Each structure stands twice: as structure tokens, then as C-alpha cells.
């Protein structure tokens, strides 16, 4: 597919000049998506406005409508971006060489890192609002369930979980508590207390499903508070985060 940037679409563009035109088109599309992510992160799908996305992006109306036919198509493209970020995140965390439970905790940390930017914030908000797109049924909940189930099954095989714990059930609980922390924190504090909620939830649930020996070691490292690092230690300067009480 040939895409043009700020020009109206043409039926059969010549081969000469394709490369820079395509590069420009990709750049323009990225500019629009960045602006859309900021808009959808700040407002619900219903409240979000195409004209504010236009304003934020600085591109022409023609360019926007060349790349996207509707607010819905922009929203779905933001969720596409989110999907790429999530898959890369899981791969990166898997490559750290940690045990499966520590890998799961690192995934939670990586999600907090990415939520500092607008794409994951907008994507997760759109998904909470049911905007994951028909080509991605159950996204991102089914995805996280699969990721966690894989990690917890390996943790069980390695003896890192209490033997009565079912990895699939635990994966559902972590998916629920994570998805719920987002919607509840968004509704109550505009995501200000999200890292605190995540920290508490992981401490509580890991505290009752992890093997006591693993837990001892993990707690000596500082537990979830240490994993979440700056996210739970930034409340004193007014930014997002949480300083645990002494």
C-alpha cells in the first residue's frame, strides 16, 4: 500500500520519489498517533475529539483523513501501538534471565514504566472502554492471562509456588487485579495512586502464593516496593507514585 503524507491520495504514483514520500507518510502517521494517544490518555473515547487531536498533532485535516477514516480507526491504531509495546515488554522481561516469579514482577514494573507515556495509558483506557478492536478479542486481558499463566506454570514446576496454587487460576487473579487497579485508580485518582495499588496487590497476592523460601529471598531484596522503584517513591514531590509508610 502506498501512503502519502500531506498530499491528497493519487491513483498511481510513479516509482521516483516513493522512498521519501513513504518516509514522510510514516512520520506523519506517527505524529497523528502520538497526538491521539495524548488525547485518548486524557479523555474517554466519548469525550476525545478529533479536532483536539488535529490541534495537538499540527497536521492538516487532509493528512489526518488520509491516514484515518474516523475517530474509531485512530483509537484502534493506538491500541495496535499498545499491543506492540506490550509484546516487546514481555520479551524484554523474559530476556532478563530471572526466575519466573521475578520475571512476572518485572513485567508489572515495565507496565508502570510504559504508563508514564501516553500510548499505554491511552490504549489501556480504550480497552477498559471496550475499544480493543474486533481483530483482537479479549485484548489485553486474554494476553496478560496467557503471559501470567505461562510464567506461573513455570514457577510451579520450579517449586516457587505453594503446591495448592493453580497457575491458571492465579493468572486470572493477577489479570483481574491489574485490570481493576487501572479502572479503579483512573476513576478515583486519575491514575495517581496506580503504582501504590499495584504494589499492595502484588505484595498481598505473592505473599500468599509464593513458596516461603522464595518469598524470604524476595523480601530481603525489598519485594514489590523495590521492583517498582521510582514509581512508588515519588509521591513526596507531588508526582505519581507512593512512598510506603515507615
Binding test (CB under 8 A) with a copy of itself, winner from 170, 215, 224, 228: 170
What whole-number distance in Å separates Cα of residue 151 and Cα of residue 67? 38
Determine, following the binding rule CB under 8 A, whether residue 135 of this chain makes contact with a copy of itself: no
Fill in the per-residue mask, 15 to 54: x = in contact with a copy of itself (CB under 8 A), - = not in contact. -----------------------------xxxx-------
Binding test (CB under 8 A) with a copy of itself, winner from 28, 112, 175, 225: 175
Enumerate residues 6+ apart whose C-beta is below 8 A from 11.
Answer: none
Cα distance from N-terminal residue to C-terminal residue, the chain: 58
Quick one: 110 or 194, whose CB is closer to a copy of itself? 194
DSSP notation for 84-111 = HHHHHHHHHHHTT---HHHHHHHHHHHH
Quick one: 49 or 169, whose CB is closer to a copy of itself? 169
Binding test (CB under 8 A) with a copy of itself, winner from 187, 213, 221, 243: 187
In the complex, least distance from residue 51 CB atom to a copy of itself, rounded to whole angstroms: 18
Determine, following the binding rule CB under 8 A, whether residue 103 of this chain makes contact with a copy of itself: no
Q: Per CB under 8 A, which region of 54-62, 88-96, 106-114, 122-130 contacts a copy of itself?
A: 122-130
Determine, following the binding rule CB under 8 A, whether residue 146 of this chain makes contact with a copy of itself: no
Report the SS3 class of residue 161.
strand
**Of 235, 226, 171, 230, residue with least CA distance to 203:** 226
- The CB density around residue 15, as the number of other CB atoms within 10 Å, is 6
C-alpha cell at 89: 515488554
C-alpha cell at 58: 499540527
Give the Cα-Cα-Cα angle 179, 183, 185 (nearest 5 degrees).
Answer: 110
C-alpha cell at 36: 491521539
| 231 touches 243 (CB < 8 A) | no
Binding test (CB under 8 A) with a copy of itself, winner from 26, 69, 88, 184: 184
In the complex, least distance from residue 200 CB atom to a copy of itself, rounded to whole angstroms: 5
Determine, following the binding rule CB under 8 A, whether residue 172 of this chain makes contact with a copy of itself: yes
Binding region for a copy of itself (CB under 8 A): 44-47, 72, 125, 127-132, 137-139, 141-142, 145, 169-170, 172-173, 175-184, 186-188, 197, 200-201, 204-205, 207-209
Amino acid at each position: 500500500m502506498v501512503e502519502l503524507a500531506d498530499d491528497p491520495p493519487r491513483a498511481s504514483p510513479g516509482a521516483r520519489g516513493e522512498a521519501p514520500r513513504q518516509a514522510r507518510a510514516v512520520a506523519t502517521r506517527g505524529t497523528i498517533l502520538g497526538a491521539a494517544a495524548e488525547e485518548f490518555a486524557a479523555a474517554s473515547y466519548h469525550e476525545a475529539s478529533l479536532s483536539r487531536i488535529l490541534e495537538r498533532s499540527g497536521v492538516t485535516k487532509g493528512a489526518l483523513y488520509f491516514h484515518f477514516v474516523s475517530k474509531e480507526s485512530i483509537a484502534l491504531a493506538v491500541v495496535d501501538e499498545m499491543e506492540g509495546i506490550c509484546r516487546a515488554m514481555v520479551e524484554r522481561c523474559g530476556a532478563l534471565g530471572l526466575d519466573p516469579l521475578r520475571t512476572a514482577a518485572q513485567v508489572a514494573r515495565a507496565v508502570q514504566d510504559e504508563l508514564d507515556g501516553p500510548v499505554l495509558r491511552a490504549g489501556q483506557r480504550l480497552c477498559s472502554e471496550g475499544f480493543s478492536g474486533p481483530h483482537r478479542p479479549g485484548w489485553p486481558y486474554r494476553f496478560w492471562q496467557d503471559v501470567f499463566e505461562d510464567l506461573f506454570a513455570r514457577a510451579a514446576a520450579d517449586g516457587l509456588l505453594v503446591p495448592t496454587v493453580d497457575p491458571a487460576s492465579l493468572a486470572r487473579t493477577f489479570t483481574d487485579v491489574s485490570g481493576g487497579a487501572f479502572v479503579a485508580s483512573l476513576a478515583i485518582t486519575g491514575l495517581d495512586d496506580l503504582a501504590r495499588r499495584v504494589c499492595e496487590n502484588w505484595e498481598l497476592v505473592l505473599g500468599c502464593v509464593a513458596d516461603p523460601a522464595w518469598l524470604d529471598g524476595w523480601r530481603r531484596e525489598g519485594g514489590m516496593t523495590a521492583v517498582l522503584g521510582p514509581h512508588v517513591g515519588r509521591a513526596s514531590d507531588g508526582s505519581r507514585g507512593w512512598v510506603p509508610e515507615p
